Structure 1
């Protein structure tokens, strides 16, 4: 069964090193939380808010050992007034036996404010 695994993280500035570092951190945490191996991943879509343009976040995924063959695509998020700035979102399509409610969606840094319902669930299950 293919399931979607969501994640989001914010950066403090649109700097290439930080965009790549935080994207890598998010993807690795999503994989760890859901016991995802690269061969389980059908594809990854990464979106950024329009204020991030210094680097392709997909590059961070391709540099993770054994993830270089995973299809990854970048795009920009809708530019909605008042939305969270400097945000990177990841949608991983993963072959898994986990049910929808067993999936751990990962929100880091200021992005925890996007889905406090899922962040609280993750914190409860990890204690």
Structure 2
């Protein structure tokens, strides 16, 4: 299969809104997502983060830069404020090139975000 542009999704939650805790959880999310899918740094195209309105102490992209992904285009945005939505939640969409088929990719949902995608294997 020829390389294609694909996207990986994931999310995590934070227990407290501090820069240190957000960085810890975002790094764990990115590490798991990239390791589980055997993504090399050069395969990355861009990463989009969203955060709920209750996450305000730092940008999630700061953790990606600290992880060594500063040369990858990163952007942060606000998640929609939906009644009953998961609070203290950070979501990510990673765009990459891969020769894997879409059904071979593994999305990652950690901490309190596991319930967002109960259709995915643990």
TM bin (shorter chain)? over 0.9
Does 2:34 correspond to 1:31?
A: yes
Q: Unpaired segments of 5 or more residues in structure 2?
A: none
- Counterpart of 1:62 in 2: which secondary structure? helix
Separation in 1, partners of 2:91, 2:116: 11
State the aligned residue count: 119
Separation in 2, partners of 1:75, 1:54: 14
The structural deviation recorded for 1:16 is: 1.2
Q: Unpaired segments of 5 or more residues in structure 1?
A: none
The structural deviation recorded for 1:68 is: 2.0
Does 2:65 correspond to 1:62?
A: yes
Separation in 2, partners of 1:27, 1:17: 15
Kindly provide the CA deviation profile for residues 11-34 of structure 1, in whole angstroms up to 9, marking residues without a partner as x. 111111111111111011100000
The structural deviation recorded for 1:3 is: 0.5
Separation in 2, partners of 1:81, 1:54: 22
